[in-house]
Amino acid sequence: MGLTPTQMAFATCREPFPAFVGGFGSGKTAAAMARAMALKTMDKSCDIAYYLPTYGLVSDVAFKRFPELLERRGFAYKLHEHKGYIEFPNAGRIIFRTMERSERIVGYEVAHSIVDELDTLPIHKARDVWNKVIARNRQKSTIPNTVAVATTPEGFRFVYERWVKNGGAGYKLFKARTIENAANLPEGYIDNLTASYPPALLSAYLDGEFVNLTGGAIYAEFDRLLNQTFEKIGVGEPLHIGMDFNVMNMSAAVGVMRNGVPHFVDEITGARDTPQIIEIIRNRYAGHPIFIYPDASGSATKSVNASLSDITLLRTAGFTVLAHNRNPSIKDRVLAVNQMILRDGERRLFVNPDKCPTLIECLERQIYGKNGEPDKTSGFDHLNDAIGYLIAYKYGIGRGTVSFAQIAGV
């Protein structure tokens, strides 16, 4: 069968850093091989590097699948198995290397590279391999040099970090669902996967989505598309700001209310202390009534001046501070957020992805720690705590249940 539209788009992409991210059976290696041959067609004299996680995979792809493909297409070639490359008469080479030891990615130059299953590596190792691969990509070519990736999404690892979180000019992401390649799969393959994997894994391994695969996701029902909003701050409208106190890392999530439902439309991260976050809020949101929903323990903490609490500083700044005498339990706060994310089929918490990328990342990636409490070692807790204080206060919370009756006047 021929290539799927997504495979074809990836194979012929001229952007410097394309990535094909797909589930099991979506044809990742087929797309990567097709890209290698497309590059050879566009620049016959170039050398291409093709990277795989292990030597066993090199043996399968380089010494079996590539020769089969070349013979079907009628390409003249010579396989140098002991040297790890395929040579084309007067038309350069495809060089095969493993990613097992990044220090061995040395001693050659290529015009283009293709990295197969990069996300199966630990994130620090994948990052190191990526940097080494780019360094090899310095052979002159008749077309701009490229480094491409084809991989299964293994949670929030390097490919998510590089293409989604820090993506920029030249980083092109292609997502492929397994069903797109169904014509090339055995009968019952997709049904067997569906019956074998839980929903989170199916999102990754059938739909090519980045999901938390480490287990114990705290906000497992949060969906960046279903909980998405493109609402923005209106002129002079009240702003509802959840705030978490952390010296050198103050965090705040800024919300607006639409029909009594919170839409988070901005965020503040990395502020040094309470005076600095006050200054940021004043400068950024001048002319707006400000309601702050802080960590109630801030009434006792002192971020700068030993004689003033953080909550006192906020009130002195002229903000309306809404906090109970003490925080709800962590369990009740998490429950409150989760039931706003999804309850009885209804979603009542929304986040603007353009304005709140860190909040979305925190909601997707925070997990439970070893003691059964939300993990606070990864840095994904601060904005989650911030919205938790707002939601727990504004919508009322009882033991084990959440009441969605909005508190009058706030």
Are residues 199 and 282 both part of a single domain?
no
Are residues 165 and 300 both part of a single domain?
no
pLDDT attached to residue 1: 61
Q: Are 271 and 279 a contacting pair, CB within 8 Å? A: no
Are residues 156 and 243 both part of a single domain?
no
User: What b/e readout covers 100-123, taking b as 16+ CB neighbours within 10 angstroms?
Assistant: eebeebeeeebbbbbbbbbbbbeb
The answer to the question of residue 223 being in a domain is no
In the chain, helix, strand, coil percent, each to 5?
Answer: 35, 20, 45
Are residues 85 and 180 both part of a single domain?
yes
- CA 126/CA 151 separation, integer angstroms: 12
The answer to the question of residue 265 being in a domain is yes
Are residues 115 and 175 both part of a single domain?
yes
The answer to the question of residue 210 being in a domain is no
Are residues 198 and 275 both part of a single domain?
no
Domain count, the chain: 2
Range of the domain at 176: 5-205
Read off the pLDDT of residues 220-260 as tens digits, 9 standing for 90 and up.
899 999 999 999 999 999 999 999 998 899 999 999 999 99
Are residues 128 and 55 both part of a single domain?
yes
Are residues 164 and 17 both part of a single domain?
yes
CATH number at residue 257: 3.30.420.280
The answer to the question of residue 410 being in a domain is no
The answer to the question of residue 186 being in a domain is yes
Are residues 197 and 247 both part of a single domain?
no
Q: Using 70 as the pLDDT threshold, list the residues of the chain that sit under it.
A: 1, 198, 200, 214-215, 299-307, 370-371, 396-410
CATH number at residue 89: 3.40.50.300
pLDDT attached to residue 121: 92
The answer to the question of residue 291 being in a domain is yes
- CA 183/CA 402 separation, integer angstroms: 47
The answer to the question of residue 356 being in a domain is yes
Out of 154, 183, 205, a domain closes at 205
The answer to the question of residue 88 being in a domain is yes
* Main-chain phi, psi angles of 176, to 5 degrees: -125, 130
User: What is the torsion angle, in degrees rounded to the nearest 10, for the CA atoms of residue 402, residue 323, residue 387 and residue 275?
Assistant: 180
pTM given for the model: 0.70
Are residues 261 and 187 both part of a single domain?
no
